Structure 1
């Protein structure tokens, strides 16, 4: 085959994955960055479909979701691989792995397990749910028919097409990790603004969003002004924000984020950017995980150990002053 002919053949065999904003261009037989989608005979094939790394019933607050079906549990499941590969990833043993040659768990079996355990919902977590996209569509559609809610813990880097399909399949809750900001020295190929674009799209289409900012020293700890500004401008003051503590993991060995830093950022987010519901996580302090009325200051929801132990919100409002408290479900 002549050189030009070989070039033309390569172009014909090339295809673009449309699930996440990396939009991997795949040659015949090759897999994308997430290791779960391949170009096989010119078709995008989900080779990781139903290959799960964990299945476990967990409280919804641990995701974290503080304003989404409080006090319930969700059957939480995960696959293998990721599309970001953060050097501080806590679940790198899953996220940095390819889907192994194991028996898949059919959607019917997973939904049946949730009902058997008495869970109220389904949640894709641990590794990035984009790796399980087509599986999620089947699981969430079936779960919705059986009365279960469906949610994700995600980096939020889906294309709008994929996001619309998830919403149509029944996904209503999105706990979205915002990893950083423009100008970072790590994750330089990520357009972080698209994460906020997607969060806005979810809200506009009836879904629930909670943003999570894991503050990683010497990585994204200087991004807070951009993150808070984008949060307020794109999502609004009512969308919950979780400012979480980092611990050394994987390749990142800096000391854990100081509590003083986390509390200072919480104060900035609330006082300078007027974000109403800001929580500090991964520190085990119930005072920093309680929901207070942004108007009168009364404590309305108390959480201890990822469990709701006190809930005073009445019909979506503060019972003391009538301020609206956004709770989904």
Structure 2
């Protein structure tokens, strides 16, 4: 646990509008608290923070330090998440806070996820302000992304409730390590899209992601589907880490078992970042993962971070017809019928929301 500043520092922290009493925690003996936001379930002593550094115990009360503390805010295409079967063609006002509850050595967004919050200098964003910004920008929804959105759940719940009254969709790009209690609160608040990054097998998580349990991630993916979330799974294929056939096959088999063949599965290309300098993943490796998934029965496998590749497109699982053609993060052709069927054979495609035709803007 990270020890916090002295009592004078505590008082300064409490004056920040981004500091609020946290949801999902339990008071324990000797002034300690048990956090129930993610499955680390940190036991936090008085004057200390949990693993993520965003929740602090002050005199036996747990506080979130990132309530409305945003590190980034911008409109982005939903395909960049990637969500390929959720409001295709739309844009989402995308935002983040600080830090993470995992410690992946290849983190692509480490400038945000490896920074602990500083409430004394934070700038507070009211939920109403973010909803207004999304509507003004012409976005169809909101997406909590860039770093782990679970850490912003206290604020996101309030944001999503307001957003849904204005017709905006709400989604997470997550590592999937939240508790079931947090997942249920998000569903009840109006969130219905969840993209989960599966890093690899048990050994991948143990060696490269801070020793957490991949079974929790699969449990949450399964339970999210059961609740009614639209779920898409992403596996970043990292050279020398999780790119062998055994690991790829394990991810594919678990995907089929836990979330089923109709759930999209994206294999994305790794580029060196943060503390890992392994070579970029070979395109041939990503293609092999795609073919393995297709042969195993995944209806909608995809390749990511390879702009212009033919495996960015959506093909009909029944007849092979091209249904949605993409280039990078843009939909360039959409051929599904109004009831989301293949125009050639009538196969119904698993897709949430509606197609949004946007001006051709390069992101």
> Under TM normalisation by the shorter chain, which class is it?
over 0.9
Does the C-alpha gap of structure 1 residues 85 and 183 become closer, same or farther in structure 2, counting only changes over 3 Å?
Answer: closer
Q: Give a deviation string over 1:109-155, Cα, whole Å, max 9, x none.
A: 11110011111000001011012110111111110111100001000
Query: Which position in structure 2 is the counterpart of 1:70?
Result: 88
Task: Give TM-score, length-normalised by structure 1.
Answer: 0.95
Secondary structure in 2 matching 1:214: strand
Contact 2:237–2:269 at 8 Å: present in 1 too?
A: yes
Secondary structure in 1 matching 2:143: strand
Task: Give TM-score, length-normalised by structure 2.
Answer: 0.86
Question: Following TM superposition, by how much is the alpha carbon of 1:188 offset from its aligned partner in structure 2, in angstroms?
Answer: 5.3
Question: Following TM superposition, by how much is the alpha carbon of 1:172 offset from its aligned partner in structure 2, in angstroms?
Answer: 0.5
**Matched positions, count:** 319
Q: Give, in whole Å, the separation in 2 of the partners of 1:70 and 1:44.
A: 39
Q: What pairs with 1:305-316 in structure 2 (closer than 5 Å)?
A: 305-314=328-337, 315-316=339-340
Does residue 1:97 correspond to 2:115, yes or no? yes
Q: Which consecutive residues of structure 1, in runs of 5 or more, have no partner in the other structure? A: 1-9
Secondary structure in 2 matching 1:150: strand
Query: Which position in structure 1 is the counterpart of 2:240?
Result: 218
Contact 1:16–1:26 at 8 Å: present in 2 too?
A: yes
Does residue 1:327 correspond to 2:351, yes or no? yes
Q: Give a deviation string over 1:255-302, Cα, whole Å, max 9, x none.
A: 00000101011101110x200100000011241210000110000001
Query: Which position in structure 1 is the counterpart of 2:203?
Result: 183
| Residue among 237, 259, 270 paired with 2:283 | 259
Question: Following TM superposition, by how much is the alpha carbon of 1:317 offset from its aligned partner in structure 2, in angstroms?
Answer: 1.2
| Residue among 138, 152, 156 paired with 2:158 | 138
Secondary structure in 1 matching 2:336: coil
Question: Following TM superposition, by how much is the alpha carbon of 1:34 offset from its aligned partner in structure 2, in angstroms?
Answer: 1.2
Q: Give, in whole Å, the separation in 1 of the partners of 2:255 and 2:196.
A: 12
| Residue among 51, 61, 70 paired with 1:52 | 70
Query: Which position in structure 1 is the counterpart of 2:254?
Result: 230
Q: Give the RMSD, CA atoms, in angstroms.
A: 1.2
Q: Give, in whole Å, the separation in 1 of the partners of 2:254 and 2:210.
A: 18
The 4+ residue runs of structure 1 with deviation greater than 4 A are none
Q: What pairs with 1:100-249 in structure 2 (closer than 5 Å)?
A: 100=118, 101-184=121-204, 185-187=207-209, 189-222=211-244, 223-249=247-273
Query: Which position in structure 2 is the counterpart of 1:289?
Result: 312
Q: Which consecutive residues of structure 2, in runs of 5 or more, have no partner in the other structure? A: 1-27, 354-363
Contact 1:286–1:302 at 8 Å: present in 2 too?
A: no
